[in-house]
C-alpha cells in the first residue's frame, strides 16, 4: 500500500477550510439580506396600515361633512344669481328705514373663467335717513347671507339728515352656463 504524503492532507484541509469560510460568508450575507428585506417589508406593512387608517379617517370626515360642504357654496353668490344679490342690496334701505341707492355696480367677466372659480362683484351704496336707519343699513349689509367685505365707509350729516356711503364687495362662484342670452 502506498502512503499518501502529508502535504496532500494539508492541501485538502486548507481547501476544506477555505470552502467552509466562503460558505460561512455566503450564509452570513444572505441571512443579513433576508433580515433587511423582512424589516423593510414589516416597515412597509406598518406604513400602509397607517395610510389605510388615515384614509378611513378622511372618509369618515368626508361623509360627516357632506351637509356642511353643500352649505359652503351658499355663502358665496352664484354667478347665476348675481342679479338677486344686487336686488337684496337694493332692498336694504326699505328694511332699515332709509333711502338706499346703488351706484357703480361691477363684476368680473365670468365667461372666460373655469367652473368653480371665483370672481368679484362690487357696488357702491349711498343711504340717507336718520342716524339709526343708516346704521341699520350698514349692519344689514354686513349680515347679508354671503361673504362680503365693506370698505370706504363715509358718514356725514346733522340732526335728522344723515348719510352714509360705502363699497361692498363679494365673491361669486362661477357656474357653467351662468349667462344666458336672449335672441328675441
Which of these CATH numbers, 3.30.70.2740, 3.30.70.60, 2.40.50.100, 3.20.20.80, describes 74-173?
3.30.70.60
The percentage of residues in the chain with a pLDDT greater than 90, rounded to a whole number, is 28
Q: Which residues of 14-36 are buried (b: 16+ CB within 10 A; e: fewer)?
A: eeeeeeeeeeeeeeeeeeeeeee
Q: Which residues of 56-75 are buried (b: 16+ CB within 10 A; e: fewer)?
A: eeeeeeeeeeeeeeeeeeee
Are 100 and 126 contacting, i.e. CB atoms less than 8 angstroms apart? yes
Q: Where are the domains of the chain?
A: 6-64, 74-173
Q: What is the pLDDT of residue 74?
A: 63
Confidence of residue 99 (pLDDT cuts 50, 70, 90): confident
Are 162 and 156 contacting, i.e. CB atoms less than 8 angstroms apart? yes
E strand or H helix at 134: helix 131-142
pTM for the structure as a whole: 0.53
Are 156 and 56 contacting, i.e. CB atoms less than 8 angstroms apart? no
Confidence of residue 85 (pLDDT cuts 50, 70, 90): confident
Cα(27)–Cα(142) distance, integer angstroms: 78
Q: What is the pLDDT of residue 11?
A: 92
Cell 357653467, residue located: 176
Confidence of residue 78 (pLDDT cuts 50, 70, 90): low
The DSSP code for 66 is H
Are 76 and 120 contacting, i.e. CB atoms less than 8 angstroms apart? no
Amino acid at each position: 500500500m502506498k502512503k499518501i504524503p502529508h502535504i496532500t492532507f494539508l492541501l485538502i484541509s486548507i481547501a476544506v477550510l477555505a470552502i467552509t469560510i466562503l460558505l460561512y460568508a455566503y450564509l452570513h450575507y444572505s441571512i443579513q439580506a433576508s433580515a433587511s428585506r423582512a424589516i423593510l417589508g414589516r416597515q412597509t406593512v406598518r406604513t400602509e396600515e397607517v395610510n389605510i387608517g388615515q384614509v378611513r379617517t378622511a372618509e369618515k370626515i368626508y361623509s360627516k361633512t357632506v351637509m356642511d360642504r353643500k352649505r359652503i357654496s351658499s355663502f358665496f353668490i352664484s354667478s347665476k344669481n348675481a342679479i338677486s344679490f344686487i336686488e337684496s342690496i337694493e332692498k336694504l334701505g326699505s328694511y332699515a328705514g332709509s333711502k338706499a341707492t346703488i351706484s357703480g355696480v361691477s363684476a368680473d367677466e365670468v365667461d372666460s373663467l373655469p367652473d368653480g372659480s371665483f370672481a368679484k362683484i362690487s357696488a357702491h351704496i349711498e343711504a340717507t335717513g336718520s342716524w339709526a336707519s343708516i346704521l341699520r343699513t350698514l349692519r344689514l349689509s354686513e349680515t347679508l347671507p354671503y361673504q362680503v367685505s365693506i370698505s370706504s365707509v363715509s358718514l356725514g350729516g346733522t340732526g335728522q339728515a344723515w348719510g352714509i356711503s360705502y363699497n361692498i364687495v363679494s365673491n361669486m362662484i362661477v357656474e357653467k352656463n351662468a349667462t344666458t342670452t336672449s335672441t328675441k
